[in-house]
Structure 1
Amino acid sequence: MNNVSSRKHQLFKGVEVSCCVKYFLFGFNIIFWLLGAGFLGIGLWAWAEKGVLSNMASITDLGGFDPVWLFIVVGGVMFILGFAGCIGALRENTLLLKFFSVFLGLIFFLELTAGILAFVFKDWIKDQLNFFINNNVKAYRDDIDLQNLIDFTQEYWSCCGAHGSNDWNLNIYFNCTEFNPSRERCGVPFSCCVKDPAEDVLNTQCGYDVRLQGELDQQKYIYTKGCVGQFERWLQDNLIIVAGVFVGVALLQIFGICLAQNLVSDVKAVKANW
């Protein structure tokens, strides 16, 4: 009788949840949970500052892209995934762990699909990028966050507009029409200007009237290359780094899915021996 009891005890002891997998998955996800909460908090704070939370209808008022959406969407996804993985691992909850691995697998599949489609339909993606930038050029003065994003992009890639400085004709403040009363008429934002290293103070009026000059003269004062072309050139120059980042993210996602599935298997095996 004692031998039978001893064998059962040994069998039960042989099947247990791996503490290493459990707490590694917990630690892995609590970081993402906190980061997600941070991004979400920043996004909601930015919307509160702009009065969006008090008037949700204003979300659709902006003609261009609101960068706050990035913080809201990315933060929300990270928060949900981090919560499911963190609590699922800590409580050994197979339902949350399955949700975590399926959701993460779906994101991985969507990323893979987007990458393949971007490679196959390169020209279409280029047209969409051009359309996206031009739409945001039109809405440049409508939202401070969008304005800062465009300024950062033009400064970082030393570019102006989607295909060139004349794309700023799409904006009601910068267009060169005869009836435009704006002081910025036939100008460009300061982020298009070629920076003078000797200037300590940023000249925000450096782009005024610059497009009244010929193209060769413009090149002395502003960047005349479009951001679409500059982005393509940057992508080609940094292809290995960009590919490395995408592969690294993909491996992290696969690793997270494997850990979650491994923990689910351990929990099921322990329950089966109860």
Structure 2
Amino acid sequence: MGYGSKDEICGTLVKYSMLVTNFIIFIGGIVLGIISLYTLFDKSFIKELLGTNLFTGAVYILISTGILLSLLSFLGCVGAAKEVKCMLLAYFIILFIIFVVMLVGGILCYVFRQRVETTMEQEMLRTIRSYGEDRVLTRAWDDLQEGLHCCGVTGYDDWRQHRIGGNIPDSCCREVNGKKQPCTLNFQASQQIYTSGCLNVTTTFMKQHANTVGTVGIAVSLFLLFGLALSCALFMLIV
């Protein structure tokens, strides 16, 4: 395989440009996978209170495509270096599919970012009623309140309004000198209770994660356009 004499310089330039592009795509795939994994497991207890699987689904999509990109970049490099047309064609088709899937994943993160506050508020109010009865939800609420130093949905009074019994969990209690202070007996003991509601803290946290993952996903997917264009150009130049 080779180039026509008139296309030799152009073909060499496209070939090396594709090698550089695939190296960048390889790095981008690794970065995307790492960021997505971190987002999935950082404060993972929050996903029990999201009220939607949209964000988790989008992150899984981006993790999968990030891994595939890292593997596919080797196919692109070999196809370009060896000038194998069938490999370049396979690379183009697979890369186009990944481009579409990754773009969808990035867009889903932004859609989730717009919907998270409404869906999370409804889900949090619903799950308060199951606190103490559902082990998973109970652990999620305790980890949320202790981890983000918040209490209830909009405030600690939510535990009295939406839960039978009216007692707030010990996870709402502040630590003084390394020890939890009792706060279930007095709802007005604000100096002993986390006064911030968990809704604002949690939605801000999730929006930041969704924005980061969505931005990286879309940025990498747009960069794949260079890989698609270069592989197509190199395919046409090889005679």
TM-score, length of structure 2 as denominator length: 0.61
Kindly indicate whether residue 103 of structure 2 is the aligned counterpart of residue 108 of structure 1. yes
Report the counterpart of residue 84 of structure 1 in structure 2.
72
CA gap of 1:126–1:27, structure 2 versus 1, over 3 A, is closer
Report the counterpart of residue 194 of structure 1 in structure 2.
174
Q: Which runs of 5+ in 2 are unaligned?
A: 41-46, 81-87
Residue 257 of structure 1 and its aligned partner are, at CA, apart by 1.9
Report the counterpart of residue 263 of structure 1 in structure 2.
230
Query: Which of 173, 181, 186 does residue 213 from structure 1 map onto?
Result: 186
Q: Which runs of 5+ in 1 are unaligned?
A: 1-6, 44-62, 178-184
Kindly indicate whether residue 197 of structure 2 is the aligned counterpart of residue 226 of structure 1. yes
Name the structure, 1 or 2, with higher relative contact order (CA <8 Å, separation 6+): 2
CA distance in 2, matches of 1:109, 1:72: 12
May I ask how many residue pairs the two structures share in their alignment? Answer: 213
CA distance in 1, matches of 2:151, 2:97: 42
Residue 22 of structure 1 and its aligned partner are, at CA, apart by 1.8
Contact 2:92–2:228 under 8 Å retained in 1: yes
CA distance in 2, matches of 1:37, 1:248: 11
Kindly indicate whether residue 11 of structure 2 is the aligned counterpart of residue 15 of structure 1. yes
CA shift digits 1:68-118 (9 cap, x unpaired): x68866533422333234433443433234323442334324533663685
Q: Percent of aligned positions with the same letter in both sequences?
A: 13
After TM superposition, the structure 1 = structure 2 runs for residues 164-179 of structure 1, keeping only pairs within 5 Å, are 164-168=155-159, 177=165
RMSD over aligned Cα, in angstroms? 4.7
Residue 155 of structure 1 and its aligned partner are, at CA, apart by 4.5
CA shift digits 1:4-47 (9 cap, x unpaired): xxx9534345424431332342353256358749988xx9xxxx
CA gap of 1:83–1:139, structure 2 versus 1, over 3 A, is farther
CA distance in 2, matches of 1:249, 1:74: 7
TM-score, length of structure 1 as denominator length: 0.55
Larger Rg: 1
List, as ranges, runs of 4+ consecutive aligned residues in structure 1 with deviation greater than 6 Å: 37-40, 241-245
